[in-house]
């Protein structure tokens, strides 16, 4: 004898309203917390404390970069090796570095010429990054041509 | 109805994939300087210690707010953690997220303080410049 329950023949209904409520809550949460962040990168610098290691500069191309600032922290002068002034032109500085290194990258990050950056205490940090950008390389399309890998800072000039 | 649910699910998946819950390496108060040479590192840095430096020379390290003069105890605690993992300060990477208007001398002071404690590797974080 075949028994057929009444419940078995009922059509199950999916309650969409509550599911859509939850989905919309999730959507609103993600939309509100979403933030487009700019791509970030690093300048990796190995700077042991003076006299405790680090490879000495064997290239005979000492580069001492002096960055002067006005009272507002804006760059006023870029001086290389206490003799050559580039005003505030980063392009001229890069041209100088290109000429000095011959446009060749050092064989390893621990080798090659070293640039010592000596800056006025109140110089805005963005100028320090521009200086590092100008001496460490240049972008050619999607490629980055490395020039100088070794950077160090002179002792801070306390006001 | 089906098409709408499909769309909504697509949107949820889009936002879920792109959301960044990690607040450690972000700080809204810091406006990073830009550089055309900036590119994300090929490999993650080993033992990164992220220091956010604002224009008033205040340093945000995790939940702690310190200055260059008072950061040493926090860095010493990191060194102890490194030693418990059989590493030294030389193995750690100090990631400096300095604001573009911070005086450069403060960044020098911070680097010097870290050097005195034995740290050698520094990563100056910058924003990618659109060329």
User: How confident is residue A122, by pLDDT bands cut at 50, 70 and 90?
Assistant: very high
pLDDT per residue over B63-84, tens digit each? Answer: 899 999 999 999 999 999 999 9
Long-range CB pairs of A29-32, under 8 A, 24+ apart, other chains included:
A30/B11, A30/B12, A30/B15, A30/B16, A30/B19, A31/B15
Nearest to A41 among B16, B39, B116 (CB): B39
The arithmetic mean of pLDDT across residues A49-72, rounded, is 72
Q: Is residue A11 part of a domain?
A: no
pLDDT in tens, A13-60: 777 888 888 888 888 888 888 776 667 888 888 887 765 555 555 566
Residue A6, domain member (yes or no): no
Classify residue A21: in a domain, yes or no.
Answer: no
Question: Is there a domain that residue A110 lies in?
Answer: yes
In this complex, do B99 and A125 lie within 8 Å of one another by their Cβ atoms? Answer: yes
Distance from CA of A149 to the nearest CA of B (A): 13
Q: Which of A21, A55, A126, A159 to mutate to test the interface with B (most CBs of B within 10 A)?
A: A126
Query: Two tokens at A145?
Result: 């041509």
Nearest Cα neighbor of B75 from B60, B57, B89, B56 is B89
Of A53, A122, A155, the CB nearest to B103: A122
Q: Most A CBs within 10 Å: which of B3, B95, B104, B111, as the mutation test of the A interface? A: B104
- Residue A31 in any domain: the answer is no
ipTM of the complex model: 0.81
* Interface size between A and B, measured as CB pairs under 8 A: 161
Partners of residue A120 in chain B, C-beta under 8 Å: 104-105
For chain B, domain boundaries:
23-128
Nearest Cα residue in chain A from B12: A27
A146 Cα to chain B: minimum distance (Å): 10
Return the residue in B103, B107, B113, B122 with the most chain A beta carbons within 10 A, the one to mutate for interface testing. Answer: B103
Contacts of B107 in chain A (CB under 8 A): 125, 128
Q: Which is higher by pLDDT, B19 or B66? A: B66
Q: How far apart are CA B18 and CA A35, in angstroms?
A: 9
Tell me, what's the pLDDT at A119? 92
Domain of residue A82: give its range.
Answer: 63-153
Is A114 inside any structural domain? yes
B chain contacts of residue A151, beta-carbon cutoff 8 Å: none
Domain presence at residue A98: yes
- Domain count of the fold of chain A: 1
Secondary structure tally for chain A: helices H, strands E: 3, 8
Tell me, what's the pLDDT at B127?
A: 87
Q: What confidence tens digit (pLDDT) does each residue in B81-111 have?
A: 999 999 888 899 999 999 999 999 999 999 9
Distance CA A96, CA A73 (A): 24
In chain A, whose CA is at the least distance from the CA of B99? A125
CA-closest candidate to residue B125, choices B27, B58, B13? B27
Q: Is residue A20 part of a domain?
A: no
Contacts of B36 in chain A (CB under 8 A): 133, 138-139
Q: Please state the length of chain B.
A: 131
């Amino acid at each position: 004898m075949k028994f057929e329950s009444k419940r078995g023949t009922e059509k199950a209904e999916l309650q969409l309203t509550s599911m859509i409520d939850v989905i919309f809550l999730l959507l609103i949460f993600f939309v509100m917390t979403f933030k487009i962040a700019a791509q970030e990168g690093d300048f990796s610098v190995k700077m042991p404390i003076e006299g405790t290691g680090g490879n000495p500069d064997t290239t005979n191309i000492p580069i001492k970069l002096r960055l002067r600032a006005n009272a507002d922290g804006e760059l006023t002068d870029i001086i290389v090796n206490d003799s050559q002034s580039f005003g505030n032109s980063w392009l001229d500085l890069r041209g100088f570095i290109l000429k000095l290194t011959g446009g060749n990258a050092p064989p390893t990050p621990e080798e090659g010429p070293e640039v010592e950056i000596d800056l006025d205490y109140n110089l805005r940090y963005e100028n320090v990054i521009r200086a590092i950008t100008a001496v460490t390389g240049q972008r050619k399309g999607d490629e980055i041509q490395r020039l100088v890998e070794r950077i160090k800072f002179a002792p801070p000039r306390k006001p | 109805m089906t098409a709408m649910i499909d769309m909504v699910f697509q949107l949820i998946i889009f936002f879920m994939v792109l959301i960044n819950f990690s607040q450690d390496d972000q700080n809204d108060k810091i406006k990073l300087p830009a550089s055309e040479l900036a590119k994300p590192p090929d490999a993650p840095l080993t033992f990164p210690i992220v220091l956010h430096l604002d224009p008033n020379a205040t340093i945000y390290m995790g939940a702690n707010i310190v200055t260059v003069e008072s950061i040493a105890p926090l860095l010493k605690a990191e060194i102890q953690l490194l030693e418990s993992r059989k590493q030294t300060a030389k193995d750690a990477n100090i990631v400096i997220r300095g604001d573009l208007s911070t005086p450069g001398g403060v960044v020098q002071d911070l680097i010097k303080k870290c050097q005195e404690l034995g740290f050698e590797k520094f990563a100056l974080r910058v924003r990618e410049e659109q060329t």
